[in-house]
Amino acid sequence: MSAPAGGSRPFLNRRLAAFGTTIFAEMSALATATGSINLGQGFPDTDGPAEIAEAAVRAIRDGRGNQYPPGPGVPELRLAIAEHQRRFHGLTYDPDTEVLVTAGATEAIAAALLALLEPGDEVIALEPYYDSYAACIAMAGGVRVPLTLRAPHFRLDVDALRAAVTPRTRLLLLNTPHNPTGTVLTPAELAAVAELAIERDLLVVTDEVYEHLVFEGSHTPLASLSGMRERTVTISSAGKTFSFTGWKVGWVTAPPALVAAVRSTKQFLTYVSSGPFQHAIAEALALPDTFYETLRADHLAKRDLLADGLAAAGFEVFRPQGTYFITTDITPLGEKDGLAFCRALPTRCGVVAIPNQVFYDDQSAGATQVRWAFCKRKEVLAEAVSRLGRL
Ligand X SMILES: Cc1ncc(COP(=O)(O)O)c(C=O)c1O
Distances (CA, A) of 377 to 46, 215, 303, 321, 384: 7, 18, 11, 20, 11
175 near ligand X (CB under 6 A): yes
User: Contact at 8 Å (CB) between 265 and 62?
Assistant: no
355 near ligand X (CB under 6 A): no
Q: Which of 39, 110, 197, 209 touches ligand X (CB under 6 A)?
A: 209
How many angstroms separate the CA atoms of 340 and 114, rounded? 35
Q: How far is the CB of 388 from ligand X (least distance, A)?
A: 23
Which of these, 357, 316, 320, lies nearest to 128 by C-alpha position? 357
245 near ligand X (CB under 6 A): yes
Which residue, 108 or 117, has its beta carbon nearer to ligand X?
108
Helix (H) or strand (E) run with residue 99 in it:
strand 99-103
By CB under 6 A, what part of segment 51-90 binds ligand X? none
Which of these, 344, 342, 335, lies nearest to 315 by C-alpha position? 335
Q: How many residues bind ligand X (CB under 6 A)?
A: 13
Which of these, 96, 42, 100, 41, lies nearest to 235 by C-alpha position? 100
How many angstroms separate the CA atoms of 243 and 119, rounded? 36
176 near ligand X (CB under 6 A): no
250 near ligand X (CB under 6 A): yes
38 near ligand X (CB under 6 A): no
Which residue, 237 or 278, has its beta carbon nearer to ligand X?
237
CB-based burial of residue 57 (10 Å sphere; 0-12 exposed, 13-18 middle, 19+ buried)?
exposed
Q: How far is the CB of 81 from ligand X (least distance, A)?
A: 13
Which residue, 40 or 65, has its beta carbon nearer to ligand X?
40
Q: Which of 73, 104, 128, 309 touches ligand X (CB under 6 A)?
A: 104
Q: How far is the CB of 207 from ligand X (least distance, A)?
A: 5
Instruction: Name the phi and psi angles at 204, rounded to 5.
Output: -130, 130
Q: How far is the CB of 78 from ligand X (least distance, A)?
A: 17
Q: Taking CB positions, which residue lies at the least distance from ligand X?
A: 104
Residues that bind ligand X (CB under 6 A): 42, 104-106, 130, 175, 179, 207, 209, 237, 239, 245, 250
